[in-house]
Structures are given as C-alpha cells and as structure tokens.
Amino acid sequence: MTVAQTFLHEFEHESKTTHKFLDRTPEDKLNWRPHEKSMTAGQLALHIASAMGSIAEIAQQNNVPMPDFNKPFAQPQNKAEIMSAFEKSVATVKRILPTITDAAMQETWRFVKDGKPIMEMPRQAFLRSILLNHNYHHRGQYGVYLRLMGAQCHQATAPAEMKALAGNVCFTRWKTSEPPVDDRMQLTIRLDSKAVLVSHWSKTDPAGEPGPRKAMWDRSHRPPFQMRGSCIDAVVQNAPNWAAC
C-alpha cells in the first residue's frame, strides 16, 4: 500500500465523521460567534468543508505562493452551501491523492514569498499536517461551537459501539514485587466471554510477571486506540488467562 493510499483510507474514514459535524450546523446560527474576534460558525464550517480540496490541489505543486492568512474566511449564506462545498472538497481529495506517488511524497513542498521559501517540508508531512491534522483540529474546535450553540455534537473519538461494551471492558495494572511505580496498563475488551482486543501501554518496562488487578471502567476514558502512547499489541479469539471482566 502506498503512502497516498494509506492517507486516502484515513481520509475517507474521517470524512464520515466530519460530515456528521457539519450536518448538525444550526441553520439559524451561521452568524453566531463565541467571541467578537472569533470566526462565525458559518465561516468555520465552510473552512472545514472547503479547505481539504484546496489543500489537495496545492499539494501537487512544489512551490506555492504564500496566501494572505489575514483575509477573512467567506461567510456562507446557508447550510446547503456548506454541505455542497464539503462534497466537492471530498471529491477533489479522492481524485488527486491517489495520483501522488511515494517518490513525490518525499519531495520538498514549499510556501514561497517573493521567490523565497517561507515554509518547507516533505510533501508527505504537508499532507499529514495540513490535509489531515489541520482538519481534525478545526473539527474539534467546531464541536465546541456546536455545544455552545445548543446543537448536538457528534462524538468523534469514541464510537457509539463502545457504550455497549462498557460492562465488558476492564483496566488492569501489571504488578511487580514492589509497589507499582510504572505506568504499564492493559485494557481488555470482551465479547461473548472471549477477549477480542487487548491493548497495553507503558512509559517503563518493569521486570516481573504480570498480575492483573481490576480497575473501574469509566466511560469518560477514550478507547485504547485513542489513548496517547498506546498501541494495539494483540487481537485474540480466546485468552482465558486474561483478567475476567
């Protein structure tokens, strides 16, 4: 799988969540803003909707003139304009991204002004940072807008299915002969009495055999695949030695 295909897979998955955020925009709150210096809800939503396609287009070039970041974002007239821009933007990314080869991903991409580079990085880093991460940043920002406007905010980091698993999820700490001094934790999700997902993470690597200790599952925790420093280490169909939940 190429780098572009990996990015496209992530983009297609995350675009579904972005669509849900934008679709919950209150039609009568497009001019609302949390502070006089903030963007309006409409400006932010339209930026989220349209920026992806524009970023994909400039990613094809090696040297791009620095835009005027002081220019105000456009104000949409209605929600339909936002959703239309989103669909067009997604289609643009899906058309362009697969054409970028792995070799092109390693080439240097630049913002230039008066012929001089202002910002430069590998094209792969540009796409990761500006096409993907930039979108997630503004989507989270817009989630705050939605809550402040009294609209329902889609839950982006924890799938709805996790709620049904709440009684089958267990945090355990790996013990040593000494009092716990490490951050090593393990999370097990069980379905039909079988461990189907096991994740553990640690800042240290203490010696000693693991001895699980149950901890309370709190729905406010993120799923294991969203927790900082975590990694999915095993997917098992039958693990009777894991801590019972």
**What is the CATH number for 114?**
1.20.120.450
User: CB–CB of 50/83 below 8 Å?
Assistant: no
Cα separation of 153 and 144, whole Å? 8
Higher-pLDDT residue of 165, 22: 22
Range of the domain at 114: 3-148
Q: Report the number of distinct structural domains present in the chain.
A: 2
Scanning the structure block, which residue is given the tokens 């991409």?
109
pTM across the whole model: 0.65
What residues are paired with 201 via a beta bridge? 185
Q: Where does a domain end: 124, 148, 172? A: 148
- 7 and 121, same domain (yes or no): yes
Lowest-confidence region among 9-23, 60-74, 76-90, 166-180: 166-180
Q: Give which of 245, 119, 121 is closest to 194, Cα–Cα.
A: 245
- 65 φ, ψ to 5°? -60, 135
Distance of CA 118 to the CA centre of its chain: 27
Amino acid 67: pLDDT = 87
- 103 and 172, same domain (yes or no): no
pLDDT for residue 211 is more than 60: no
- 112 and 16, same domain (yes or no): yes
- 101 and 130, same domain (yes or no): yes
Scanning the structure block, which residue is given the tokens 């997630």?
136
pLDDT for residue 189 is more than 90: no
- 131 and 191, same domain (yes or no): no
- 124 and 23, same domain (yes or no): yes
Distance of CA 191 to the CA centre of its chain: 26
**pLDDT grade for 152, boundaries at 50, 70 and 90:** confident
Q: Where does a domain end: 82, 116, 148? A: 148
Cα separation of 18 and 3, whole Å? 22
Q: What is the mean pLDDT of residues 41-69?
A: 95
Token pair for 191: 């379905």
- 99 and 194, same domain (yes or no): no
Cα separation of 131 and 178, whole Å? 47
- 25 and 140, same domain (yes or no): yes
- 187 and 136, same domain (yes or no): no
- 179 and 140, same domain (yes or no): no
Amino acid 216: pLDDT = 30
pLDDT for residue 215 is more than 60: no
